Structure 1
């Protein structure tokens, strides 16, 4: 499959054998028009606007497509309040396993990363492990929750959040090193300048602190064959 980065936390996956395009987290900091163009399935990790541009997703659902959307209750409620078709919007909870156009999607997580002990964690955040035969990618949303079970030869791409009010670089590094993957792709990066990207890349480069992955930053619109 082909993974394309659309800015911030949004990626699309062109599924093999004509399975269509699966999009994860088309939010307000992303190029949602490009991401949703032709999308047959949309996965939402949580209801924050930088992960769910509800207006863009509603427009996509109303555009004549037969696309379906999956997400936690709060995200689904945002779409249903905007008159999304109920038969094409589905709630997920950790432990669910979805079968979408030849891909298996295992839902995990449940908790948004803590921003501060005095700030309540209101958002429910789920993670998505998307696999096709012999291939897999993992999107943690706003968390560093690892997959519950991970065969050694399945995870090709680990998407790693690298910036935000809840992000600490030590946790970024630990997450990248703890989850075995061939390639680490930084996401959740809209707050970073080019200087910030350079510094982050230096710390996540395996030559400095170890690890067995290749760190690969993608620009918006750039793709990686998985």
Structure 2
């Protein structure tokens, strides 16, 4: 499976047998123009704009009549209100297992991480994607681990590394609690190059004594899972 990073929280995953891609969280901080073409399906973790650029996704749905979207109820409502065809936007909830174009997607999570006690928490789901013996976990805006890991272990953990709801120690603890062969930092648009370098230095394998590869990708770069 080919994983391509499109900036901030957005990645695309190649589907089996050349069936296009599965795109997760094409938001306003991401290169959605590069992420969405060729997509067979889109997954949305929650309704914050940096995870779903509603006008862009709705416009793409209009030009790609076969594409389907799975999202939380608030995100699905926002897409429908923006003009998305109702029959192509599907609501998800924690505990569901989806079969999408030959890919198994386990939905977890439930709540966005706490930003402040006085700020309401958004509905946030996580996605564990498994196909062709490879697995990728996207937590959205949370540090909630999968309910269970694949028998062969997790291949890629997509790790949020910056945001108003987190601190670096939480990213370190999450990395240690969800063992994966490769850790790819996401949710990083708020960081400067200096900040990204500091974060990488704290999360690299040597410092944490972890058995994984820390692989920072530039927007448009890919790795094979």
Q: Helix, strand or coil for the counterpart of 1:50?
A: coil
The answer on whether the counterparts of 2:16 and 2:132 sit within 8 Å (CA) in structure 1 is: no
Q: What is the TM-score normalised by the length of structure 1? A: 0.97
Deviations 1:43-102 (A, max 9, x none): 000000000000111011100331000000000000111221111100000001110111
Aligned length: 225
C-alpha distance in structure 2 between counterparts of 1:91 and 1:84, whole Å = 13
**How far does residue 152 in structure 1 lie from its aligned partner after superposition?**
4.3
Correspondence for 2:112: 112
My pick for the range that moved more, 158-167 or 80-89, is 80-89
Q: How does 1:145-164 map to 2 (within 5 A)?
A: 145-164=144-163
Correspondence for 1:25: 25
> Which structure 1 residue ranges, 4+ long, deviate > 4 Å from structure 2?
none
Correspondence for 1:54: 54
C-alpha distance in structure 2 between counterparts of 1:82 and 1:222, whole Å = 31
1:15 aligns with 2:15: yes
1:84 aligns with 2:84: yes
Q: What is the TM-score normalised by the length of structure 2? A: 0.98
Correspondence for 2:129: 130
**Aligned-residue CA RMSD in angstroms?**
0.9
1:179 aligns with 2:178: yes
The unaligned stretches of length 5 or more in structure 1 are: none
The unaligned stretches of length 5 or more in structure 2 are: none
Correspondence for 1:34: 34
C-alpha distance in structure 2 between counterparts of 1:69 and 1:5, whole Å = 19
C-alpha distance in structure 2 between counterparts of 1:159 and 1:196, whole Å = 18
Correspondence for 1:209: 208
